[in-house]
Structure formats: C-alpha cells, structure tokens
Amino acid sequence: MIAGPRRHAGLSWAQAYATAWQVGRPLAPVSLPVGDALRHVLAAPVEARTAAPAFDAAAMDGYAVAGAGPWRVAGRVLAGDPEPVARLDHGDAVEIATGARVPAGAEAVLPYEDCHRCGDTVRGTRTTRTHIRRAGEDTAPGDLLAPAGRVLTATAAAAAAQVGVERVRVRPRPGVDVLVTGDEVVLHGRPGPGQVRDVFAPLVTAITDRAGGRLRTYRRVEDDPTALRAAIDTSDAPVLVVTGSSSVGVADHLHDVLAERSATWHVDGVACRPGHPQALARTADGRWVVGLPGNPYAGLVAALTLLEPLLAALAGHRRRPLPVAPVSGTVKLFPGGCRIVPVETVDDGARIVPGARSGSLRAAASADALAVLDAGWATGTPAPLLRLP
C-alpha cells in the first residue's frame, strides 16, 4: 500500500494486477427476484423449494391406463386441467395430453401410435416404458441447483423458477461512473481543430460489463481541479473511473484532488510500457478511484490491469489464472518492467501484431489479446495474455 501520491517507477505489472484483485472485497449481498439476478454472482446456494415434476405427468400424448387391456376410456385430461379424473381402476383409461397430470392408479401412458381406439375401448401393448414422469424424479425439495460463487445464468434461473425459487441472494454488480478529463476531448461528433474524439466509452463499457459491473454515467470534466473535485464529490458510485489526469502534467489534477481527500493509494504507477501512469486509490468514504492514462492504448492497458480485476473482485468473482501461451515476434522490451503488446492467436500460440503505439488503437484493433512480456522474454517463450474486449 502506498502512503500518498508520488512519482516513482511504480509497482511491477504482476503486483499491480494482483493488488486490484486483492483489495476488492465482494459487495454485501442483496436479495433479488430470480429474473433480475441474471449474471450476478450467487452469494448463497440456490436450492429447490418444490419438486420437479411437481406431480405425476404424462410424457407423451396418448392414453393413461391401469391394469391389463383392453381398457375402457373414462374421459380426457389436458395439461392444466385443475380437476383430472380422480382415480383409474383396473381396466380404466383416460385420453391424456403431454404434460397433463396423470390420475392416481395410472401405470403407464400408451402413445397414440402404439394403440388403437374403437368407441370407448382402447387396445394396445404395454412396454417396459411407462411414459410417465413421476413427481420429484428430476428434483426433490432441498436439492442443490447452483452453489454460492457461481454466476446465475439464464438456464440456472429457469431451473430455479421451475422448482419454486422466487428470490436469490447475490452480490450486486458494482456501479461505475466515468469522468473523461481533457479540454481537447469531445464525446460526440467529429473533432474540431486541436480536438480529439473520446475512445474510452466502448472500451470501459465493455470491460465493465464483462467484469460484472454496470456503467451508470459517462461524462466529460474540464481540466480544472475545482471541476474535478466537484465531479468526484458528487458521485456516489462504488467505482469512479477517471480517464486522463493521472500523470504529472500541468492539466493532471487527480493526485492532488485525492490527496486533499485523504485517499489511500494502492497503485500509483506501474512499471510497464505503455500504461505507466495508472492509479488505484480509495477515498476516505470507501469509494474506489481508477485512473487511466489519456492515451488510448495506454488507457486500454490500464483498464485491463486495474479496472477489470477490481470490478470482478467487487462483484464476487473468483480470481482465475490468466491464460499463458508462447508468444513469437519482435518487439523492443522494457528493461525496467513489462512491455505489453497486442497479439493475434495462432495454432501454436500467439503472434505479436506490429506497430503498437501508446496513442493509437490500430494495432490492438486487429488483435485478440494483449501479451505481458517481461524484460527477460524471448520470442517463442510463454507470456500471460489479457483478453481484449
């Protein structure tokens, strides 16, 4: 942990990435309706409340029969009938639809294709298959459907609803507010003379969503410490992303503003190229601030290094090892830390996409991932990969 804002070589890339995972504690669980909890991480196991099937049900269209045939047809039962035939005695049958409740005493359902009806009499041959789904044969009350720590998928939510689960306990998806600094930045339309178009909107949105967060607001803030103070003070999001303003230039005010608010610094610079002036701090009232460099490719590197693991940890995801693959190609290494380069995946690993520059996303746009190359890397040796959004 860093005592206060300062300029230095920074943590190693591996330390910074691990720190973002470690400092993020899962948010307090909440109870949500099953339909609203999709893609949330479960904070408690989901267990069946009722049986599935809830009653003995026909698995085929045909005739439910009791005893040996021929059988006398005593009525018809359709799916959803509230009052089916009360009971079948030996020699009785009812015409029945798939999914309909099977009357008590029924021993099998004869599919239409396996029987013949003449008037009120049905004849056919019973086989070893009953074509009846018995109550509770799939799921009994109390059966585990999904353990805590798993993401609630649509399929799991549907299975839960099928067995009477109406609400589940989940970790909230952390809300994210984004402040884009830079008087030269425009959020929409074609830039004018001396202006540049903001590129972080699609990147931060995709990374936030993938990590389990939710983007709340996205707005531009003038290169003015007073404006930045006001924007930070009025946000109540658990995570605040500030693009630009994280370095030491005359228009970079993030460090001073957070120092005034007694923020605790966990990452203040990372020994990597590009993306050195990235930051992770926590305000005195418990909000997280992630500082991304203003250069587009450097900002992308920082978002994958700090923002994604922080959000994933807050959302309750478990850390998994990064994929590692042999990386081939030529690049100028960074003796003081890591060089992070775009790569495209190939059959035998990954290949460096040439032409990466801190201020350009062109090379990254044709890549599948970013490879983290330490100072001792040589072509063909393995390196960790960061999947691109």
* Domain CATH for 212: 3.40.980.10
CB neighbour class for 388 (10 Å; exposed up to 12, middle 13-18, buried from 19): middle
Residues 67 and 194 in one domain: no
Residues 213 and 334 in one domain: no
Residues 192 and 235 in one domain: yes
Of 153, 171, 189, the domain-final residue: 171
**Does 139 map to a domain?**
no
Lowest-pLDDT choice from 180-184, 267-271, 295-299, 331-335: 180-184
Residues 43 and 164 in one domain: yes
Residues 162 and 196 in one domain: no
**Does 3 map to a domain?**
no
**Does 5 map to a domain?**
no
Residues 95 and 204 in one domain: no
* Domain CATH for 163: 3.90.105
Measured distance CA(225)–CA(241) in Å, rounded: 16
pLDDT in tens, 215-266: 999 999 988 888 899 999 999 999 999 998 655 554 467 888 898 888 999 9
**Does 73 map to a domain?**
yes
**Does 1 map to a domain?**
no
Residues 310 and 329 in one domain: no
pLDDT in tens, 348-379: 899 999 999 999 999 999 999 999 999 999 99
Residue 352, domain extent: 324-387
Residues 23 and 40 in one domain: no
Q: What is the pLDDT of residue 243?
A: 92
Q: What is the pLDDT of residue 84?
A: 66
Residues 113 and 228 in one domain: no
